[in-house]
Amino acid sequence: MNLKGRDFLKLLDYTSEEIEYLINLAEDLKKKKKNGIPHDTLKGKNIALIFEKTSTRTRCSFEVAARDLGMGVTYLDPNASQIGRKESIADTARVLCSMYDGIEYRGYGQEVVEELAKYSSVPVWNGLTNEFHPTQILADFLTIKEQFGTLKGLNFVYMGDARYNMGNSLMVGCAKMGLNFTACAPQKYFPDSTLVDECKKIAKESGSKLCFEEDPIKATKNADIIYTDIWVSMGEPELVWAERINDLESYQVNSRLMENAKDTTIFMHCLPSYHDKKTEIGKRICEKFNMTAMEVTDEVFESEQSVVFREAENRMHTIKAVMYATL
């Protein structure tokens, strides 16, 4: 399959066969990495990483993956890039694509990464926007495939606020790849109806079922995967914590929900997580609202059913696959 020159902006742009190809490619590259087999086939190429939102996993994944492939990397942090402030998105794209072979963008609106891609003559990769997080879903699906040997027909439950990048992207990915997707939250936290309608059309072709449920017990019954994310997204003010905790506290992933599913059910989280009080923000919020954890209990996070650190590692292998395939 030839994906050379393609942008990677959202999973809606890719067929199920292309997504499967990227997952299989990541699996192969991971084996090479583990077995010490060199795969620096992109020597001489260079990529630029634009980060308007900081990150641990995304930055490290792109940098390590690029260097494994033999490429040079330039990291532009939120203060180093002039994009949208002193220089337009279109101008930034045309400057960078004259020097680099690929451009990653992690920031706010999806329209920014789409415009970068429009004016760039080299591949542009979405490291996260408010609306979509496609590289995370590839890592999630590689992890699920490693665990169960397949994707199609599995029951995937997303707990919590499903309106933004993770809820959107997981719903799209599940619809594309034939997993049954359930968003479990109060109705106001369900994904946008326009995207839901689009995913329902995709699901008809793949055999996937989409469900939107307010009852956590009903949602997690027979779940193969229970997934959650932090309740307040990056860039949102802390003022919204009170509302989110009030609305989502009963959707916390805990032992009761895990026991309601299957013995083989796995827990997933894109990280970072407020599963204890060992972070500055987690401690402050937990103490303010008299809680010991937020979206997931420490018991579940640290349990044998949790695959969060393998999932995090797989960010690097799947991002490597995207760059390898498109360059």
Catalytic status, residue 270:
yes
Distance separating alpha carbons of residues 39 and 62, to the nearest angstrom: 15
- The one catalytic residue in 59, 163, 244, 315 is 315
Q: Active-site residue among 6, 133, 244, 317? A: 133
Work out the average pLDDT over 262-290: 94
Q: How far is CA 20 from each of CA 38, 71, 152, rounded to the nearest angstrom?
A: 24, 25, 11
Residue in 325, 311, 313 with CA at minimum distance from that of residue 61: 313
With beta carbons less than 8 A apart as the criterion, state whether 109 and 130 touch.
Answer: yes
Structure confidence by residue, pLDDT tens digits, 86-133: 889 999 999 999 999 999 999 999 999 999 999 999 999 999 999 999
Instruction: Say which amino acid occupies 230.
Output: I
Residue 211 catalytic? no
Contacts for 314 with CB less than 8 Å, ≥ 6 apart: 26, 30, 139, 140, 142, 143, 146
Q: Which residues make Cβ contacts (< 8 Å) with residue 98, sequence separation at least 6? A: none
174 is catalytic: no
Query: Which of 139, 99, 100, 97 lies closest to 118 in space, CA to CA?
Result: 97
Average pLDDT over residues 188-209: 98
Give the pair of three-digit tokens for residue 290: 């008299």
Q: Give the pLDDT confidence score for residue 237 in this predicted structure.
A: 80
147, burial (CB in 10 Å: exposed 0-12, middle 13-18, buried 19+)? middle
Q: Which of the residues 7, 68, 101, 229 is marked catalytic?
A: 229
Q: How far is CA 163 from CA 14, 41, 111, 167, 319, in A?
A: 21, 39, 17, 6, 24
- Binning pLDDT at 50, 70 and 90, where does residue 292 land? very high
Which residue bears the tokens 């990291």?
A: 75
Q: Which domains does the chain have, with CATH numbers?
A: 11-132+315-326 (3.40.50.1370), 136-313 (3.40.50.1370)
Q: Above 90 in pLDDT, residue 281?
A: no
Would you state the pLDDT for residue 86? 81
Catalytic entry in 7, 57, 97, 136: 136
How far is the C-alpha of 47 from the C-alpha of 262, rounded, in Å?
43
Q: Find, among 323, 327, 268, the residue nearest to 126 by Cα.
A: 323
User: Which of the following is catalytic: 174, 184, 270, 286?
Assistant: 270
Beta bridge partners of 116: none
Per-residue pLDDT at 227 exceeds 90? yes
Q: What is the DSSP string of 172-225?
A: HHHHHHT-EEEEES-GGGSPPHHHHHHHHHHHHHHT--EEEES-HHHHHTT-SE
Report residue 234's pLDDT band, with 50, 70 and 90 as the boundaries: low
Asked if the peptide bond before residue 272 counts as cis, ω within 30 degrees of 0, the response is yes
CA–CA distance, 327 with 214 (Å, rounded to integer): 43
The number of residues in the chain equals 327
Give percent of the chain above pLDDT 90: 91
Average pLDDT over residues 154-166: 97
Is residue 315 among the annotated active site residues?
yes
Confidence of residue 233 (pLDDT cuts 50, 70, 90): confident
Rounded-to-10 torsion of CA 253, 259, 173, 168: -30
Tell me the pLDDT of the chain averaged across its residues: 96
**Tell me: the pLDDT tens digits for 44-97?**
999 999 999 989 999 999 999 999 999 999 999 877 776 777 889 999 999 999
Distance from the Cα of residue 1 to its chain's centroid: 24
Q: Is 136 a catalytic residue?
A: yes
**284 is an active site residue:** no
Catalytic, out of 106, 269, 275, 317: 106
pLDDT at 133: 98
